[in-house]
């Protein structure tokens, strides 16, 4: 039984309709693909993003913000979306397992990701979150939140940006490992996990967002996974993506693709973190990683699709 960590992109949950019912329906479709790993005899560990969901929650929090009902901080909003999305996946997976008459348990875990307070990311926040603001609103926003960093975003207005530090450790990984060893399917590290900083005996939540792919790679490393699979909206990794000489890569060594990472050939906000996380896992463990499309799960299991990265 292979232990496989699957990292799901936003397309696994995102819908044009932001209602709970629409997102639950999208999750049900995703789970119908993921159940194929279980049918194949694999032990599945599910991780997922939460960008659109935490963005919507921040909008709701700010709209209702008042002295009597203050908005929740970013780490707490991350925990709230971990719980809600984890519930959707847990419920949908239980339904599919029952339909397939597979006797397996599923559990979602609110996961804390430990980061270094001296990570350089805290010096230069880069991750946009929350709503867009007009230039005319800036003075009032800065007065209300002097600690925020606001940047102009592609002509669409101003947005708050927060740090995106690297994960050092997944606090709950020993429990996750025990659950995996017991044959239970865990849903963990939603949105990269809740970023926390160690202060003596305390873990203090911080205003940051951790890249979900790096957290998935760290979990896969810590629980000794046999494979990391990053599922996204495209079929795999391309060199020269979007150009006339575009080339899809099906099988590549970590050393070769590292050269393309160093040359900054991948899009910073989309494919770059995925290839970096995959290479990181391969280099740390010696085990393979695959980047591919959610819709190609059966072919990925068969080894016929996706970009396989190995030593």
DSSP type of residue 207: S
The residue from 3, 24, 212, 305 that is catalytic is: 212
Query: CA–CA separation, 216 vs 205, rounded Å?
Result: 19
Query: CA–CA separation, 20 vs 31, rounded Å?
Result: 16
Hey, how many other C-beta atoms are within 10 angstroms of the C-beta on 84?
17
| Beta strand residue intervals within the chain, DSSP E | 3-8, 43-48, 106-108, 112-115, 127-133, 149-152, 158-162, 169-170, 185-188, 194-199, 202-205, 227-232, 237-239, 247-249, 251-253, 289-293, 307-310
Query: CA–CA separation, 256 vs 241, rounded Å?
Result: 17
Residues paired with 5 in a beta bridge = 45, 228
Identify whether the C-beta of residue 288 lies closer than 8 Å to the C-beta of residue 308.
yes
Q: How many CA atoms lie within 13 A of 223 on its CB side?
A: 32
Q: Is 127 a catalytic residue?
A: yes
Q: Is 212 a catalytic residue?
A: yes
The residue from 3, 177, 274, 276 that is catalytic is: 274
Identify whether the C-beta of residue 224 lies closer than 8 Å to the C-beta of residue 1.
no
The residue from 9, 50, 51, 127 that is catalytic is: 127
Q: Is 276 a catalytic residue?
A: no
Query: CA–CA separation, 205 vs 76, rounded Å?
Result: 8
Q: Is 143 a catalytic residue?
A: no
Q: Which residues are catalytic?
A: 10-11, 127, 212, 274
């Amino acid at each position: 039984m292979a232990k496989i960590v699957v990292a799901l992109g936003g397309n696994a949950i995102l819908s044009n309709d932001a209602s709970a019912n629409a997102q639950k329906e999208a999750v049900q479709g995703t789970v119908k693909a993921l159940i194929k790993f279980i049918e194949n005899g694999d032990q599945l560990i599910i991780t997922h993003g939460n960008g659109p969901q935490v963005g919507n929650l921040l909008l709701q929090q700010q709209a209702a913000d008042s002295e009597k009902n203050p908005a929740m901080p970013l780490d707490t909003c991350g925990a709230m979306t971990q719980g809600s999305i984890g519930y959707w996946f847990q419920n949908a997976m239980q339904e599919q397992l029952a339909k397939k008459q597979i006797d397996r348990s599923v559990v979602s875990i609110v996961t804390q990701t430990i980061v270094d307070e001296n990570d350089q990311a805290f010096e230069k926040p880069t991750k946009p979150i929350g709503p867009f603001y007009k230039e005319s609103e800036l003075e009032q926003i800065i007065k209300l939140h002097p600690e925020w960093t606001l940047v102009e975003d592609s002509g669409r207005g101003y947005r708050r940006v927060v740090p995106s530090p690297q994960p050092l450790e997944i606090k709950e990984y020993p429990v996750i490992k025990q659950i995996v060893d017991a044959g239970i399917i865990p849903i963990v590290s939603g949105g990269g996990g809740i970023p926390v900083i160690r202060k003596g005996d305390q873990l203090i939540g911080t205003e940051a967002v951790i890249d979900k792919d790096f957290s998935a790679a760290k979990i896969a490393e810590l629980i000794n996974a046999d494979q990391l699979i990053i599922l996204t909206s495209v079929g795999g990794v391309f060199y020269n993506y979007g150009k006339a000489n575009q080339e899809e890569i099906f099988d590549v060594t970590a050393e070769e693709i590292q050269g393309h990472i160093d040359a900054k050939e991948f899009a910073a906000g989309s494919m770059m973190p995925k290839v970096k996380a995959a290479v990181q896992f391969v280099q740390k463990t010696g085990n393979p990683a695959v980047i591919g499309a959610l819709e190609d799960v059966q072919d990925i299991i068969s080894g016929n699709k996706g970009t396989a990265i190995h030593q």
